[in-house]
Structure 1
Amino acid sequence: MNSPTPADARIAVIGAGPGGLTCARVLQRHGIAVTVYDRDPDRNSRNQGGSLDLHDDNGQIALREAGLLTEFFALARFEGQEMRRVDPAGNVIARHVPDEDETARPEIDRGQLRDLLLRSLPAGTVQWGRALDSVSGPADGARTLRFTDGTAVEADLVIGADGAFSRVRAAVSPATPHYTGVGFLEARFDDMETAHPELAELVGEGSAHAADGERGLFAQRNSGGHMRVYIMRRVPVDWIAAAGLRPEDTGAIRARLLREYADWSPRMLRMITDNDGPYVDRPILALPVPHTWETAPGVTLLGDAAHLMPPLGVGVNLAMLDASELALSLVRSATVDDAVRGYEKMMLPRSAGVARTLEGGAEFLLAVPGPDEALPGADRS
């Protein structure tokens, strides 16, 4: 079977995260039809997580291609580019204050970014409640997407934008994510200026990072007076169950954390004790480095489905750049197969290089930084 032209192809994107939606938006801007399938029942069915910093050399490039950069700047928190390094005693030992016109890495809540992208798509582009079960079909013909609700559709190109546990990945690669040995516990704080003024003063307008070599805390302000703190430790992936606890045992988990952070100051311990609501367990996973594959007709990957890495400021940015480049490759190529080959020729070496740089990067967040070491950025993607 000859590969169809992109204009005539049935293109299916799996996953309505920032990467999948960016790909759909850029394709539609150039008159190419696409359908996005997502497992969530609807766009509001779950919290989308914390804040993201979109970089001017990748994420913002993708938004420009999507025609949404001006709208992004209207929503972005430029003050969120402030970064602080704090020691376990609660002293601010390094600080980056953004210039008034600094636009390199403004922050936006993940939910706000997703809503911006969703608003840009015509109604019906995203089909909710469609959890993918498998991708099958001959390498030289249409692929069949089977969903857990028993339905199936055919597609000439399947784009896996479905994250760490991608169902599309198996069609091109046997790789699966592995645990890095570092786990995050996410803690949420609300009404910062009134309910948590001491923490608001400590963290500032952006983020604050502290570590002692074995454990760390990363606090980041979100919009609407909210903040998230990531409690970072070397732990077994099943440490909660191994301790005889459940994720909802907030008091018991807090008591355990206070024992582990006993040497930290009371000011810093507020990031562990004063959270509003339960903790969320987020083990840090990564794909093998490098993760590559032979081009397979009719299937490709982007974002975490292709190159899951530790959360050090690149995840969503690379996903959106992948998405934009794939869409533009489809716009500019004679056939779908040509477009996929051209895209993967750019994406795979780039992602492999970044992954090598960040391999073991979760450990970096626990290390005591040197006096001249750059302040960390993270994108909790």
Structure 2
Amino acid sequence: MNLTREARVAIVGGGLGGLVCARVLQLHGRSVTVFEREAAFDARPQGGTLDLHPNTGQAALRAAGLLDRFHALSRPEGQEWRKVDHITAAALEQEWPPGDEGAGEEDRPEIDRGHLRGLLLDSLAPGTVHWGRAVSKAAPLDDGTCRLVFADGVTEDFGLVVGADGAWSRVRPAVSEALPGYTGVTFVETGFDDSDVRHPDLAQLVGPGTLMTGSGSTLLFAQRNSNGHIRAYVAFRAPQDWHTAAGLNLDDTAATRAYLAERLDGWADGLRYAVLGGDHAFVHRPLFALPVPHVWEHVPGVTLLGDAAHLMPPLGVGANHALLDGADLAQALIGAERVDDAVRAYEGLMLPRSSELAKQCAEGLAHLVP
């Protein structure tokens, strides 16, 4: 019998969902190891800002005993959201202004993804995360356990393997043949450093939170991060090889700027600047998503959470539900006698929830970028 109290748990992927799962397990004295293919926490940029929702992301941090530390790092003022006219930059809508009465239980403070990941990493026992340990595959065994095969050929068996390794999960094939597909929408990102000093007009336009505008199949949004940094994204609907058809080399910053300048022709100068005046080279991010719904028949010894389980368009729920997945799985393991019972209970909760969310996100993306 694969008992939860005795089982060794391996979490593949050191992102938010996997780390909160490890934290909750350790709070209750359970054995867990996190395997992360990156060499160190700062091996790559950690991404932009997240708003954590009360009943998902914040609930997960509460289960992890980290909610107070989160609030100490978060930016409540980042909840402000502005929609402006793309031609005049005049305000059309505004939500969550600072001091808004009625925010209360709906508070969704912003936090930089890197700060949140650092908070979770610091909460774990030393040595929990094994950096530079890339996994090639997970192989369920007949006794209800699972074998991890690492990129260097080493194998190790665990009572449970949790695939928390993102969009292109190496664990997912153990339970599902599904692969992410291109959504038809691509993002192009740039950034502005020390914006209040170096880009004051843009900083004033964006404000403390998020600015959004759009026209037709082109959407622009800019988000305030900590330390005066602003990330700006232009999104548009196009074939995945749109740059080939346009004769554009994505590594050519000047050519990309010229392409985007033409796409934003007629837009307000301040909004064009948010895309064309960045301090950083453009980053191209085609959006992928798993099929909707993405479900699987239960396989003993292995399960998924976060983007590995339900990759969906980035409309503000993915990270929150990755965190909730991690906390739900850990609590199921703590509360059940057998690993298999715990995983079945978790999947019975997570799969219907994520299927509905993925459907809503697909519809939301189609509405935002028609």
Give me the TM-score of the superposition, normalised by structure 2: 0.96
Q: In structure 1, the residue corresponding to 2:45 is in which secondary structure?
A: coil
Corresponding residue for 2:91?
A: 92
1:194-244, Cα deviation, whole Å (9 max, x unpaired): 111111111110001101122010110000110101110112223334434
Worse overlay, 138-147 or 40-49: 138-147
Contact 1:84 1:92 in 2 (8 A): yes
Matched, 1:222 2:221: no
Provide the C-alpha distance between the structure 2 equivalents of 1:22 and 1:288, rounded to a whole number of angstroms: 26
Q: In structure 2, the residue corresponding to 1:23 is in which secondary structure?
A: helix
Contact 1:86 1:93 in 2 (8 A): yes
Q: Percent identity?
A: 52
Provide the C-alpha distance between the structure 2 equivalents of 1:82 and 1:139, rounded to a whole number of angstroms: 52
Matched, 1:166 2:144: no
1:346-357 map, 5 Å: 346-357=349-360
Q: Which amino acid aligns with 1:58?
A: T
Provide the C-alpha distance between the structure 1 equivalents of 2:143 and 2:249, rounded to a whole number of angstroms: 48
Corresponding residue for 1:113?
A: 116
Q: 2:347 aligns with which of 344, 347, 367?
A: 344
Corresponding residue for 2:131?
A: 128
CA RMSD of aligned residues (A): 1.3
1:2-41 map, 5 Å: 2=1, 4-41=2-39
The Cα of 1:292 is off from its aligned counterpart by 0.5
Contact 1:50 1:109 in 2 (8 A): yes
Give me the TM-score of the superposition, normalised by structure 1: 0.93
Q: Which amino acid aligns with 1:93?
A: L
Q: Which amino acid aligns with 2:31?
A: A
Q: Which amino acid aligns with 1:159?
A: V
Q: Which amino acid aligns with 2:329?
A: L
Q: 1:64 aligns with which of 37, 62, 65?
A: 62
Gaps of 5+ in 2: none
Q: In structure 1, the residue corresponding to 2:281 is in which secondary structure?
A: coil
Provide the C-alpha distance between the structure 2 equivalents of 1:46 and 1:241, rounded to a whole number of angstroms: 27
1:1-381 map, 5 Å: 2=1, 4-89=2-87, 90-96=89-95, 97-99=97-99, 102=103, 104-366=107-369
Contact 1:183 1:232 in 2 (8 A): yes
Q: In structure 2, the residue corresponding to 1:26 is in which secondary structure?
A: helix
The Cα of 1:10 is off from its aligned counterpart by 1.2
Gaps of 5+ in 1: 368-381
Q: In structure 2, the residue corresponding to 1:8 is in which secondary structure?
A: coil
Q: In structure 1, the residue corresponding to 2:14 is in which secondary structure?
A: coil
1:29-49, Cα deviation, whole Å (9 max, x unpaired): 011010000110111111101
1:323-367, Cα deviation, whole Å (9 max, x unpaired): 100000000001000000010111111111111222243232235
Worse overlay, 91-100 or 345-354: 91-100
Provide the C-alpha distance between the structure 2 equivalents of 1:91 and 1:364, rounded to a whole number of angstroms: 22
The Cα of 1:7 is off from its aligned counterpart by 1.4
Contact 2:233 2:275 in 1 (8 A): no
The Cα of 1:149 is off from its aligned counterpart by 2.2
Contact 2:179 2:290 in 1 (8 A): yes
Q: In structure 1, the residue corresponding to 2:126 is in which secondary structure?
A: coil
Q: Which amino acid aligns with 1:15?
A: G
Q: Which amino acid aligns with 2:298?
A: T
Q: In structure 2, the residue corresponding to 1:359 is in which secondary structure?
A: helix
Provide the C-alpha distance between the structure 1 equivalents of 2:292 and 2:73, rounded to a whole number of angstroms: 35
The Cα of 1:108 is off from its aligned counterpart by 0.2
Provide the C-alpha distance between the structure 2 equivalents of 1:106 and 1:137, rounded to a whole number of angstroms: 40
Contact 2:140 2:299 in 1 (8 A): no
Corresponding residue for 1:373?
A: none
Q: Which amino acid aligns with 1:252?
A: A
Contact 1:182 1:363 in 2 (8 A): no
Q: Which amino acid aligns with 1:91?
A: A
Worse overlay, 242-251 or 155-164: 242-251
Contact 1:139 1:298 in 2 (8 A): no
Q: Which amino acid aligns with 1:99?
A: G
Provide the C-alpha distance between the structure 2 equivalents of 1:19 and 1:248, rounded to a whole number of angstroms: 32
Contact 2:140 2:301 in 1 (8 A): no
The Cα of 1:139 is off from its aligned counterpart by 4.2
